[in-house]
Amino acid sequence: MSELTFAGLGAGSLAVAAWPACVRKAQLTRETVFDETQAGLRVPVVRVAAALAVANAWCMPGEPGRLDGLAALGEELAAASMPELLALLDAPAVAYGKAAIVGTRGELEHGAALLHPQLGKPVRFAIGGGAAVIPSNNKIGPAGSSIDVPLGHKDDPWSFAFIDTLTLSMSDAPREDEIVLFIALASGRRPAARIGVSRDDGKPNAT
């Protein structure tokens, strides 16, 4: 696996090597929401996500119980994903989320190890902050399973207008010995949000 080298770089300029060898497939998606109430949104909401199908060597018989390697892999995958996601978003990221679907030979704890201990560091570095815990979801499922990736404001978890979900899947993953990792970013609030106010301007999302 490639060594992470992001110390000293500015936000949005994260530099890493190519995708780690354990990545079988990378899928990038972008959606732009222009309308939710038939009145049009003042500012369209853009949401982007990376889905990575990665080999889960920790599901093999005889593997040790320690999951430090998966935690380190989560950091490496996030660092490789963030430049792609920020280029696709083409706007400041104000909300984020993450999720994992573990193949049927794995454990929920494999997804937790990938998601929680180290993944957030390169995400926060790339977007220039992130005081709030990154919302997450984790499940076991067969290939083609979908998951609701939770989204929340990067700095204020009580900013209700940013609480949202993005439903994602990969058609041929996870295979039984894989994990699909999802990382999502959003440029704004929940479309046409009127419950809760923005911490940015104190006003409901106008339509």
The predicted pLDDT at position 20 comes to 86
The predicted pLDDT at position 199 comes to 47
The predicted pLDDT at position 61 comes to 67
14 occurs within a structural domain: no
How far apart (Å, rounded) are the C-alpha atoms in residues 187 and 48? 9
CATH at 137: 3.30.1330.110
The predicted pLDDT at position 132 comes to 97
Q: Which segments in the chain show pLDDT lower than 70?
A: 1-17, 38-41, 61-64, 197-207
Q: How many structural domains comprise the chain?
A: 1
126 occurs within a structural domain: yes
The predicted pLDDT at position 197 comes to 53
The predicted pLDDT at position 92 comes to 96
Residues 33-67 pLDDT 10s: 887 776 666 788 999 999 999 999 988 765 557 89
Domain that holds residue 110: 23-30+43-156+167-186
The predicted pLDDT at position 64 comes to 59
The predicted pLDDT at position 35 comes to 79
